[in-house]
Every structure is written in structure tokens, then in C-alpha cells.
């Protein structure tokens, strides 16, 4: 078989890494697990041995012989042929996720998962991406990805994985990350998740600048004009002189909620058409 680079087909061959990954997910016989990407099924077999049910989403039909081999041995494995980005996760009943992810879809699949309900995910990423996921405020790797993920979940680094653990060998190191989804009652309340995302984009385009400078420099990202933003920032109960990369998740949630409330409650008289259009979605929710 020709391995597809486009589909991220670097299959795990190191059994120690397989074991470490499945161990980190603390799989037991009550668990129902979602796996993304069957490959030749090295992870699937281990999951099938230890759990109640395994759903595997795989896009490449050429892997059907491996799927048949597995489903003839394990009756708790169900293969779903399709694109994991398009499959409706609500149609699958799982509480854990374990996968050696195709790197091309690392970011969208992670955010798709985070919007879904699950207890724990243990996932393999490219090393650099994993470092950004787990980075703490004030560090070099800390950025939009760190905040966006850490808002929804606690993330831990499990282990670094060398290229020789796979066939074919990737060019870069990988890493296993454990993601524990926060319970809804432990999540910081957000006035508007979309505004939070827009604000993150605006802030982290200038992560070494002060909050005020960063916002002014990417004012378009939050659908405002400079004049309006300056007014909104006046007397805001927030340290606007802090550098963006030093803000924790809580700080950014606070800033998002403060600004969102001000935008929502502001009289529209001084707004240009541009602002009105851009912020229609916010004010319509009033
Ligand atoms: N789990 C196997 C392993 O560890 O050896 C395979 C991992 S390999 C990195 C990624 C797998 O995901 C490949 O089998 C690939 O065909 C599949 N894949 C790629 N894009 C996909 C997508 N959008 N939806 C579902 N599967 C996908």
C-alpha cells in the first residue's frame, strides 16, 4: 500500500508507545472509546482488549482489509468510514477518545471534540503543536491555541515520541497529550463564546504588546473601529498595560465579558455602518 502523506499516514509501530498512550487514558471495561484513524489498527486492538466499545472513524477505504481482520476478532469494534471532521459525534456514544491523529486535522478535530461531551482524551500530535497546547502563561509557546484549549480542558504532556516509533517515519517528533474536559460547572462563564474567540485572535496577533496596544492594532478582529474601542476601554476594570502573553485564561475571560457587556449596552448613535454591521450579531442577542 502507498502511504498517503495527505492523510497523515504515519502508523505507530512501537508497542511501548501504544501501551503508554492507552495506559494514560486509564481505559477500563466500562469505557466506550472513540478512535480517529484506524491505520493498521495497532491502537484499535489494544483499545478493543481493554474497553467495552471502540468506534473508529477512518477515511481511507484502502484500509478495509485491516478493518475486517479486526472486526472478525473483536465484536466490540465498530468502524465508521468517513471524514472525522464531518461525522456527527452525537451519533456515537463514547466517554473517552484515544488517537494518533492525522496531523493535518489536529486543530479542527481538537476543537470539534472540545465542543462535545467526553471525560478524557489521550491524543498524539506533532511535538511543536503539543507544546503550544500545554503552554502556561508567560512562556514562549503560550498563545491563542493554549488559551482556547485550556478554557475547555486541563491539558497534560504525557510523553515525547521519536520519529522511529512510526512507519513511515515522519520528519518531526510527536507527543502524547492528555486532555481532561472540564465539567460545565467548572467552566468560567462566557457572555459570548464567539466574541471570546474573536478577542483571542485579536490579542494574540500581538502577544508581546500591551493589551491596549494589541486591541488597537487588531481592532477589526472584534468588529469595532478605533474610536469606539478607545471609548469602550475607558475606565475598564482591567489592567490594559499588561503584556498579552502574561494574561491567564481567567484574565482573558474577564476581559471578554467586560468588553462584550459594554458593546452590548452601548448606545448605537455614534457608530458607523461598518461597526453596526460587524456587531449586529452581538447586539441582536440583547
Ligand atoms: N491509529 C493508527 C496508528 O496509530 O498507527 C493510524 C494513525 S495515522 C497517523 C492517521 C490515520 O487517520 C490514517 O489511517 C488516515 O488514513 C486517517 N485519517 C486521515 N484523515 C482522516 C479524516 N479526516 N478522518 C478520518 N480518518 C482520517
Confidence of residue 224 (pLDDT cuts 50, 70, 90): confident
CA-nearest of 102, 92, 123, 128 to 22 is 123
CATH architecture, domain 193-285: Orthogonal Bundle (1.10)
- Ranges of beta strands (E only) in 118-152 are 120-126
Confidence of residue 285 (pLDDT cuts 50, 70, 90): low
The full set of domain ranges for the chain reads 11-183, 193-285
124 lines ligand 1 (CB under 6 A): no
Cis check for the bond before 169: say yes or no (omega within 30 of 0).
Answer: no
Encode pLDDT of 231-252 as tens digits: 999 999 999 999 999 999 999 9
Encode pLDDT of 63-97 as tens digits: 999 999 999 999 999 999 999 999 999 999 999 99
Q: What CATH homologous superfamily does 11-183 map to?
A: Vaccinia Virus protein VP39 (3.40.50.150)
Confidence of residue 45 (pLDDT cuts 50, 70, 90): very high
What is the chain's mean pLDDT, rounded?
Answer: 93
CA-nearest of 162, 45, 61, 59 to 98 is 45
User: 0.85 cut: is pTM over it?
Assistant: yes
Of residues 286 and 214, which shows the higher confidence score? 214
**What is the reported pLDDT for 225?**
87
Mean per-residue pLDDT, 114-138: 97
Q: Which of 46, 59, 85, 87 to mutate to test the pocket of ligand 1 (most atoms within 8 A of CB)?
A: 59
Encode pLDDT of 133-189 as tens digits: 999 999 999 999 999 999 999 999 999 999 999 999 999 999 999 999 999 999 999
In angstroms, what CA-CA distances link 52 with 104, 271, 275?
A: 29, 57, 53
Angle between helix 273-283 and 249-265 (nearest 10): 110
60 lines ligand 1 (CB under 6 A): yes
Q: Which of 6, 7, 20, 25 to mutate to test the pocket of ligand 1 (most atoms within 8 A of CB)?
A: 7
Amino acid at each position: 500500500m502507498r502511504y498517503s502523506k495527505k492523510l497523515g499516514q504515519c502508523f505507530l509501530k512501537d508497542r511501548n508507545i501504544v501501551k503508554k498512550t492507552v495506559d494514560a487514558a486509564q481505559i477500563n471495561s466500562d469505557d466506550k472509546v472513540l478512535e480517529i484513524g484506524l491505520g493498521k489498527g495497532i491502537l484499535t486492538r489494544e483499545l478493543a482488549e481493554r474497553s467495552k466499545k471502540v468506534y473508529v472513524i477512518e477515511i481511507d477505504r484502502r484500509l478495509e482489509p485491516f478493518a475486517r481482520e479486526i472486526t472478525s476478532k473483536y465484536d466490540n469494534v465498530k468502524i465508521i468510514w468517513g471524514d472525522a471532521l464531518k461525522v456527527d459525534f452525537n451519533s456515537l456514544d463514547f466517554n473517552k477518545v484515544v488517537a494518533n491523529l492525522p496531523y493535518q486535522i489536529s486543530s479542527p478535530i481538537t476543537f470539534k471534540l472540545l465542543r462535545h461531551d467526553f471525560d478524557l482524551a489521550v491524543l498524539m500530535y506533532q511535538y511543536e503543536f503539543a507544546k503550544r497546547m500545554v503552554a502556561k502563561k508567560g512562556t514562549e509557546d503560550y498563545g491563542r491555541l493554549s488559551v482556547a484549549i485550556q478554557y475547555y480542558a486541563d491539558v497534560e504532556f504525557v510523553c515525547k515520541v521519536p520519529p522511529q516509533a512510526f512507519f513511515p517515519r515522519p520528519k518531526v517528533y510527536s507527543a502524547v497529550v492528555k486532555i481532561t474536559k472540564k465539567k460545565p460547572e467548572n467552566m468560567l462563564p462566557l457572555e459570548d463564546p464567539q466574541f471570546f474567540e474573536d478577542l483571542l485572535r485579536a490579542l494574540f496577533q500581538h502577544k508581546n504588546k500591551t493589551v491596549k496596544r494589541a486591541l488597537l492594532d487588531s481592532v477589526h478582529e472584534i468588529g469595532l473601529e478605533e474610536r469606539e474601542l478607545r471609548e469602550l476601554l475607558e475606565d475598564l476594570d482591567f489592567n490594559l498595560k499588561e503584556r498579552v502573553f502574561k494574561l491567564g485564561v481567567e484574565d482573558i475571560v474577564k476581559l471578554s465579558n467586560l468588553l462584550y457587556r459594554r458593546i452590548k449596552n452601548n448606545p448605537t448613535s455614534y457608530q458607523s455602518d461598518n461597526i453596526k454591521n460587524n456587531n449586529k450579531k452581538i447586539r441582536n442577542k440583547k
